[in-house]
A and B are shown apart, each in its own frame.
Chain A
Amino acid sequence: MNVDRLPATRVRLLDPYGQAMIPVPYRVVHRHEETADTVTVRLEPVGDGLDAWAPGQFTMVYAFGVGEIPISISGGSGPVIQHTVRAVGAVSRAICDAPVGSILGLRGPFGRGWPDRPPEGDVIVLAGGIGLAPLRPVILAGLREPGRLSVLIGARTPADLIFTAEYDQWRAAGARVLVTVDRADATWTGHVGVVTTLLSQVPVAPSGTTRPAPTGYICGPEIMMRLGADALVAAGVPPHRIWVSLERTMHCGIALCGHCQLGPILVCRDGPVVDAGNAARLLQHREL
């Protein structure tokens, strides 16, 4: 095994303690119900925690005796890791139900996250549903430079919006935050329509102008990411500066199990964040 030629994550995994294989215990220290089916948990390590994470990375979260699933890191500082989980099956349900004080296991952080925003140019975040969770660290980092950041959020209904308490804080810090829903309810007075329709309210510098090129970050259902990337390109964002986060089944998170293959890439190792051009090339083939 020639370690020099392998990506850095693989080198770390040669750890003889098997840390990459064995979940590290974390205690649930805070729990917030975002929506009827989505919960944000804050986790604190019981002993030694995981290594430092970067926005867009994920951990494998283990619910005792139930199973383990990949979940993006939606925030946290120091040793605390925050996850936002939508209950769609046995394991995600068990994580959502974990009470404060209970123990979950974490492995990670794994994967390539969002590339840092370039020093200049507008930053456009496009989020659909639970897809806002992995983008939250990007948004928080972007707030450090007021005026550059636009956050476009879409959800099925107003009741499916997550992190709603934070939108005004983000606005106050200088971000443009626009929200839309597919189906309004009686209380909703905001925008209705798919998230890409919000783009018309965002001034994007078309390429060829003297303003620096914008950058786009997208996460949501696969179809939304495809349409979102197309819309950003149409609005003048260069394709190589649009990033999406892919989802595939993962049993290990460290390029050993083979489940997350998407053609030439292993999503856990080469992703989950990839550029929109690559994603489009791969996703154009049905059932790849």
Chain B
Amino acid sequence: MIPSDTAQGLAHRPWAVFFVCPDRRGSEGSIGRGRPALRIALVIDDADRDRPNGVKIMSALLRSLEPLVTTLRAEGCTVVGPRERDGAIVLDAIDSAAQLPSGWGVQTGPGVYRLRRRADRAVFGHSAGPQAWKRFLHPPRERLWSADRGVDGTLTITGPDEEPPRYAFLGVRACDLRAIAIQDRVLGASPSYAARRRAAFLVAVNCTEPSATCFCVSAGAGPDVEAVETRPDRAPADWALADLALTELAEPGDAEPLYVATALSPAGGRILARLPQTPAPPDVVAAARAAVGAATDHMGRSLPDVDLREMLAASLDSPHWADVAARCLTCANCTMVCPTCFCTSVTDTTDLSGDHAERWQTWASCFEVDFSYLHGGSVRTSARSRYRQWLTHKLGTWRDQFGESGCVGCGRCIAWCPAGIDITAEVRALTSQGAER
């Protein structure tokens, strides 16, 4: 079933090459071909991939997240979840569910992000924070390889040979789940991204309380996890997204929220089966569904209902770009917080001996002047052209390049812009200007 010899064979079965988390581990092999060996794990259970379609949906009621955290840690995963730190909800490793931000909510707006106390003890009652899961799957700084030059001038180049970290992400919202699918399409060809991504176990969480900057509904990316998971443009062979989906039900006065848990993958099903649980009563399941449905109607923002790709392609020389440029500080915050922005630069370095070299990849931003540097000067020097690049890429040319939109409506770029620039307002202004022309 697994072609063991040729890279070509493996290339046609990308799902066969990854480190796997809970219960998805198969035989581990080591393959080399005159190059440094990269250790890979081969999945023997091919049927595992056929999800979510082939998976029996099973819902259960959980009274605590502690057993989930314990089980995932026992499986060897680094559990990453939301935590309250320095006035924001950040994503970091946790070793207990007690570290989740219980009872914290957020208030957001253009250039505004503030924590607030909630009346209940919900741990997922806050919308997208300043960080996205990309910082784990597509780290801000990564060594691509190192090279050594021998006395005879020969060059030995060694790729990353350490095992990728095995993450379990706890609390991936629908918008961020969609963002992971978008980055899969862009970065899936990178072996190190693919290894981290395929090893990750994803616990998604349905959103029941969007904030003022959210517009996942009009971006086609939420708030319902299962709707994202089964988008029509997700082909069966696409990488699986969430393994488990949770809906948090928190009432003021309750010591701990309740969770309706649904397995979306065989691995998720096996983990869920090991947790203390009761069957979810139909009325609780219905209440959970209703809460997610209500969130759909409470989006703080929306995108204009036009073909944005066409509208933006026709607006490249609009005077509105100069208007935004007068406000934009080209600080690149929006690209750093955006869960889909993927651009990187590489830097080649040598040590003092001059015989050991490394290549490091770091996040880059289209707002940097150097980003478009060609010998002789940069292509995009004006703020106008750099903001235009960012916005037209997100909502327009991403479709040309990758067949889908590059925005999931998480609202991070709006909340974390020091100038309070709102992507939905800018695209609305461009749309109405276009209509006037």
- CB pair B348 A14 closer than 8 Å: no
Shortest Cβ gap from B312 to chain A (Å): 10
Given contacts A14-B10, A255-B189, A266-B401, contact A103 B154 (CB under 8 A): yes
Q: How far is the CA of A4 from the CA of B374 in the complex (A)?
A: 34
Contact mask for chain B residues 188-206; partner A; CB cutoff 8 A; 1 contact, 0 none:
1111101000000000000
Q: Residue of B at shortest CB range from A258?
A: B343
User: From B379, which residue of chain A is reached at the shortest CB distance?
Assistant: A287
Task: Among A5, A18, A92, find the residue whose CB has the most chain B CB atoms closer than 10 A.
Answer: A18
Q: Which residues of A in the span 271-288 have a Cβ within 8 Å of any Cβ on B?
A: 285-288
Q: Tell me, in angstroms, the Cα distance from A25 to B155 when the chains sit together.
A: 6
Among the listed B7, B344, B346, B389, which residue makes an inter-chain contact with A19, where contact means beta carbons less than 8 Å apart? B7
Interface size in chain A (residues, C-beta < 8 A):
56
- Chain B contact residues, majority secondary structure: mixed
Instruction: Say whether A286 contacts B385, CB under 8 Å.
Output: yes
Q: A13 contacts B189, CB within 8 Å?
A: yes
Q: Which residues of A contact B350 (CB under 8 A)?
A: 64-65
Tell me which of A64, A92, A266 contacts B357 (CB under 8 A).
Answer: A64
The answer to whether B287 has its CB under 8 Å from any CB of chain A is no
A17, B348: Cβ atoms closer than 8 Å: no
Contact present for B155 and A259 (CB under 8 Å):
no
Residues from 1 to 56 in A contacting B, C-beta threshold 8 Å: 1-5, 10-23, 25, 46-48
Contact A101 B153 (CB under 8 A): yes
- Please name the residue on chain A nearest to B160 by beta carbon: A18
Which residue on A lies nearest to B156, using beta carbons?
A: A25
Contact with B along A204-242 (1 / 0, CB 8 A): 000000000000000000000000000000000000000
Interface string of B175-194 (1 = CB under 8 A from A): 00000000011111111101
Q: Is the CB of B375 within 8 A of A14?
A: no
Q: Beyond A17-B35, A105-B157, is A249–B14 a contact (Cβ under 8 Å)? A: no
Asked if A88 is at the interface of the complex by the 8 Å CB criterion, the answer is yes
**Contact between chains at B189 and A254 (CB < 8 Å):** yes
In whole angstroms, what is the CA distance A216 to B371 when docked? 32
| B345-A21 in contact (CB<8A) | no
Chain B residues with CB under 8 A of A285: 316-317
B residues less than 8 Å from A13 (CB atoms) = 11, 189
Cross-chain contact B364 with A258 (CB below 8 angstroms): yes
Structural contact, B317 and A2, CB atoms closer than 8 A: no
B342-366: which have CB < 8 Å to A? 342-346, 348-350, 354, 357, 359, 364, 366
Across the interface, B237 reaches (CB within 8 A) one of A1, A17, A258, namely A1
- Chain A residues near B219 (CB, 8 Å)? none
Task: Check A10–B189 contact: CB distance below 8 A.
Answer: yes
Do A261 and B397 have beta carbons less than 8 Å apart?
yes
Q: How far is the CA of A65 from the CA of B351 in the complex (A)?
A: 9
A252 in the interface (beta carbon within 8 A) = yes
Whether the Cβ atoms of B153 and A103 lie closer than 8 Å is yes
State whether the Cβ of A67 lies closer than 8 Å to any Cβ in chain B: yes
* Contact status B344-A18, CB under 8 Å: no
Q: Choose from A3, A66, A247, A288 the contact partner of B316 (Cβ within 8 Å).
A: A288
In this assembly, does B12 line the interface, its C-beta being within 8 Å of a C-beta of chain A?
Answer: yes
Q: Are B35 and A249 in contact (CB-based, < 8 A)?
A: no
Q: Is A251 an interface residue (CB 8 A)?
A: yes
Is the CB–CB distance between B343 and A65 below 8 Å?
A: no
- Chain A residues near B403 (CB-CB < 8 A): 5
Question: Which of A62, A247, A258 lies in contact with B342, CB distance below 8 A?
Answer: A258
Check: B412 CB closer than 8 A to any chain A CB: no
Residues of A near B145 (CB, < 8 A) are: 18, 21-22
Cβ of B345 and Cβ of A11 under 8 Å apart?
no
Cβ of B257 to closest chain A Cβ, rounded Å: 35
Query: Which residue of chain B has its CB nearest to the CB of A11?
Result: B11
Q: Which of B149, B346, B372 contacts A257 (CB 8 A)?
A: B346
What is the bound-complex CA distance between A18 and B354, given in angstroms? 25
Chain B residue at minimum C-beta to C-beta distance from A68: B348
Give min CB distance, A51 to chain B, whole Å.
Answer: 11
Determine the distance from Cα of A4 to Cα of B14 in the docked complex, in whole angstroms: 11
CA distance A92 to B184 in the complex (A): 33
Q: Which residues of A contact B237 (CB under 8 A)?
A: 1-4
Asked whether, in the complex, the Cβ of A64 is within 8 Å of the Cβ of B380, the reply is: no
Q: Known contacts A3-B14, A17-B33, A22-B157; is A66 also within 8 Å of B344 by CB? A: no
Q: Could you tell me the distance in whole angstroms from the C-beta of B285 to the nearest C-beta in chain A?
A: 32
Distance (whole angstroms) from the CB of A50 to the closest CB of chain B: 13
B33-54 CB mask vs A (1 if < 8 Å, else 0) is 1110010100000000000000
With contact pairs A249-B373, A258-B342, A265-B401 given, residues A16 and B189 touching in the complex (Cβ less than 8 Å): no
**Residue ID in chain A nearest B184 by CB atoms:** A1
User: A65–B316 contact, CB under 8 A?
Assistant: no
Chain A residue numbers with a CB within 8 Å of B317 are: 285
- CA A48 – CA B35 in complex, angstroms? 10
Residues of B330-352 contacting chain A, CB below 8 A? 342-346, 348-350
What's the nearest-Cβ distance from chain A to residue B138, in Å? 10
Known A2-B238, A25-B157, A287-B379: A14·B400 in contact at CB below 8 Å: no
Contact between A257 and B345, CB atoms less than 8 A apart: yes
CB closest chain-B residue, reference A15:
B7
Q: Which residues of B contact A247 (CB under 8 A)?
A: 374
Q: How far is the CB of B263 from chain A (nearest CB, A)?
A: 23
A287 pairs with B189, CB closer than 8 A: no
Q: Given that A3-B14, A14-B10, A285-B316 are known contacts, is A62 also in contact with B35, CB under 8 Å in the complex? A: no
Say if the beta carbon of B393 comes within 8 Å of chain A.
yes
- Distance between Cα atoms of A254 and B392 in the complex (Å): 21
Chain A min CB distance to B64 (Å) = 36
Q: With an 8 A cutoff between CB atoms, is A78 at the interface?
A: no
Q: Does A203 contact B (CB under 8 A)?
A: no
CB neighbours (8 Å) of B159 from chain A are 17-18, 21-22
- Complex formed: what's the CA distance from A12 to B317 in Å? 38
Digit string of B370-405 for contact with A (CB within 8 Å is 1, else 0)? Answer: 011111100111101100010011001100110100
A183 on the B face (CB < 8 A): no
What are the 6 tightest A-B residue pairs by CB atom distance, in nearest-first order?
A: A264-B400, A258-B343, A287-B385, A65-B350, A13-B189, A2-B235
19 pairs of residues in contact across A and B, judged by CB atoms under 8 Å: A1-B188, A14-B188, A16-B10, A16-B38, A21-B145, A22-B144, A23-B157, A64-B147, A64-B155, A65-B350, A68-B346, A249-B373, A251-B344, A257-B345, A263-B397, A264-B313, A286-B385, A287-B382, A288-B316
